[in-house]
Amino acid sequence: VTSVITLMEILVLPKRLGKAKLARDYRELLLNYPNLLIVEIDAKNVDIASDLRAKYGIRTPDALQLAAAVQAGASGFITNDARFKQVDEGIEIILLDDFID
């Protein structure tokens, strides 16, 4: 599970570099990737995100991403931001750094 924010973030660099075809290819790949659910940001997501931001002080885009995962019922949230370890919302926070020797 991810949100449309991930899609937006991935498209920025190819667009900045003027590589419109690459941006389109990335977009199509993600939108059609097997077993990947990309959720829209809606009012419920915003409510959850505002609660998360108020409770944990995480940045707005991060709160929206985490809210999308929580709302979709994901069991884990993968990040490289150690500040997420404080989050206790019934979702496992998985730090990428924990897998690096």
Q: What is the pLDDT of residues 26-67, one digit of tens each?
A: 999 999 999 999 999 999 999 999 999 999 999 999 999 999
Name the pTM for this structure.
Answer: 0.85
Closest CA to 52 of 63, 36, 44: 63
**Topology classification of domain 2-99:** Rossmann fold (3.40.50)
pLDDT of residue 101: 63
CA distances from 72 to 12, 38, 49, 68 (A): 25, 10, 13, 6
